[in-house]
Structure 1
Amino acid sequence: MKILSWNVNGLRSVARKNEIQKIINSQIYDVILLQETKIEEINKLIETNGYVYYIMHSTVKKGYSGVITFCKETPINVIYGIGHEKYDNEGRVITIELKDYFIVNSYFPNSRRDLSRLDFKKDFNEKILEFLEKLRKRKPVVIGGDFNVAHTDLDIARPKQNDGNAGFTREERAFVDKFIEKGYIDTFRLFNKEGGNYSWWTYLYKSAKANNIAWRIDYFLVSSELKNKVKAAGIIKKQEGSDHAPVFVEVD
């Protein structure tokens, strides 16, 4: 099972550039998770070419947030949200149930530059972990998406300058520790222990991507039961179309 996750920062823009269509047409991935799609329906933006798809969009603000999951096979079940209205209204999580595990598509809140949404994010983190633990009682879990946090100093180009900034606060980083303590594995780190591997660069600095001044904030975690079934994980750094690079995982 090959799974791709990509924060597209607006599906319309990526669709116009034909980048997502290329991925779909390649038929490489069994499941494709998109975040920050900012649309209510695909309409004619994309030819799905045999994939079924499921959309959750923000109902509180148009053109904001949103996730879409594409799947080659029809899932056993689809779960929209995590059961908490104030988060679900922002269109942040879709879960599909397959034969051997759940796949959770997640777009974690941004705590904002002034940290005005840090408490909102901390509570979301607790609620989504509770949701994952309930799923895990039934079968293993794969969760992919934009977590909006760089976990360690290895996951950010300039850790000292960004200490305490949104996405690199102690509270946000500690919650990734909590995921790991609960038995979730950062799949990328199974294969790569080095720094300098990032998935997001800011548009505020034109040379950020060229100079690799960036953050790793997009992840695939698996519950520990799947650790030995993870065959590959990585970042597709050359992909164009968004301020994020796609990440992928391959699970037996």
Structure 2
Amino acid sequence: MKLVSWNVNGIRAAIKHGFKDVFKELDADIFCINETKLSAGQLDLNFPGYESYWNYAERKGYSGTAVFTKKKPLSVQNGIGIDEFDDEGRVITLEFDNFYVVACYTPNAKPKLERLDYRVKWDDAFRKYLLKLKAQKSVILCGDLNVAHEEIDLKNPSSNHHHGGFSNEERQDMTKLLDSGFIDTYRYFNPDQTGAYSWWSYRFGARKRNAGWRIDYFIVSDDLKDQLQEAAILSDVMGSDHCPVELKIKL
């Protein structure tokens, strides 16, 4: 099975920059998108052979997630069941026979960490949510998790230790998640790979210089370890300030 996740930084803008062609070319079994920046009724986007599911933020033009899947799920849940965290359209969970797919767009702590308290509360609640799922079935989590876990995961770690996405608190929370029985699939296959990033600022020619961050992930419950086949960062795909990430797994 092939899964793709992509922060499109606004689906309407991404469509203008070739999203539909990329979608068809990648031909994923499950394709998750983050940061749709869409409200209900603003766009009718369907692909033959796929079911589609959307979670919209209450605030217009903000956040939002969607999932396209060739196989119809047993059930679909928007959010994690906590009002404080469920008004920004950040999570969609699809249940299948033997596993869950969780598409997530994690809140940003902001450059000066003004939203760090909210982010830390989110991390704790979301980890507990994933562990509840894991107690029932295998879990595949994907999306823009808005954290570069280790220094190897961004170009300039020394100057970003107190910035959103690389604060001690956010990195520690990612460690807690992985230590609770989950695998960062890209690092599983590429433990020492440098220069592997999934997001680049639009400023200062960052993408051309590959001055980026790896903040988009496929993370799976550790019971799926032996079924992992490949994890990739599709850095040659344009159309957003992020690139897609991909997971191939035997399910």
Listed as ranges, the matches of 1:34-183 within 5 Å are 34-41=33-40, 46-59=45-58, 61-183=59-181
Is 1:3–2:6 an aligned residue pair?
Answer: no
Unmatched 5+ stretches in structure 1 = none
Task: For 1:237 and 1:2, locate their aligned partners in 2 and report how far apart those are by CA, in whole Å.
Answer: 17
The 3-state SS of whatever aligns with 1:32 is strand
The 3-state SS of whatever aligns with 2:119 is helix
Aligned to 1:215: 213
Residue identity opposite 1:148 in structure 2: N
Task: For 1:229 and 1:43, locate their aligned partners in 2 and report how far apart those are by CA, in whole Å.
Answer: 39
Q: For the aligned residues, what is the CA RMSD? A: 1.3
Per-residue CA shift, 1:86-145, capped at 9, x if unaligned? 211011000001122000000000001121110101111111111111111110100000
Residue identity opposite 1:115 in structure 2: L
| Partners of 1:24 and 1:48 within 8 A in 2 | no
| Partners of 2:184 and 2:217 within 8 A in 1 | yes
Residue identity opposite 1:25 in structure 2: K
The 3-state SS of whatever aligns with 1:209 is helix
Residue identity opposite 2:50 in structure 1: Y
The 3-state SS of whatever aligns with 1:129 is helix
Aligned to 2:202: 203
Residue identity opposite 1:95 in structure 2: T
| Partners of 1:103 and 1:143 within 8 A in 2 | yes
Task: For 1:51 and 1:80, locate their aligned partners in 2 and report how far apart those are by CA, in whole Å.
Answer: 18
Tell me how far 1:204 sits from its aligned partner: 2.3
Tell me how far 1:76 sits from its aligned partner: 0.5
| Partners of 1:156 and 1:196 within 8 A in 2 | yes
Residue identity opposite 1:169 in structure 2: S
Tell me how far 1:27 sits from its aligned partner: 6.2
Aligned to 2:190: 192
TM-score by length of 2: 0.96
Per-residue CA shift, 1:10-55, capped at 9, x if unaligned? 0000112222x11332362000010000112476553412211110
Identity over aligned residues, as a percent?
39
Residue identity opposite 2:85 in structure 1: Y
TM-score by length of 1: 0.96
Per-residue CA shift, 1:36-93, capped at 9, x if unaligned? 001124765534122111100111x100000001100110110110011121101100
Unmatched 5+ stretches in structure 2 = none
Distance verdict in 2 for CA 1:165–1:107, change over 3 Å: same
Per-residue CA shift, 1:179-232, capped at 9, x if unaligned? 111010000011112111000001122x10111101000011000000111100
Aligned length: 249
| Partners of 1:3 and 1:249 within 8 A in 2 | yes
Task: For 2:234 and 2:77, locate their aligned partners in 1 and report how far apart those are by CA, in whole Å.
Answer: 28
Aligned to 1:247: 245
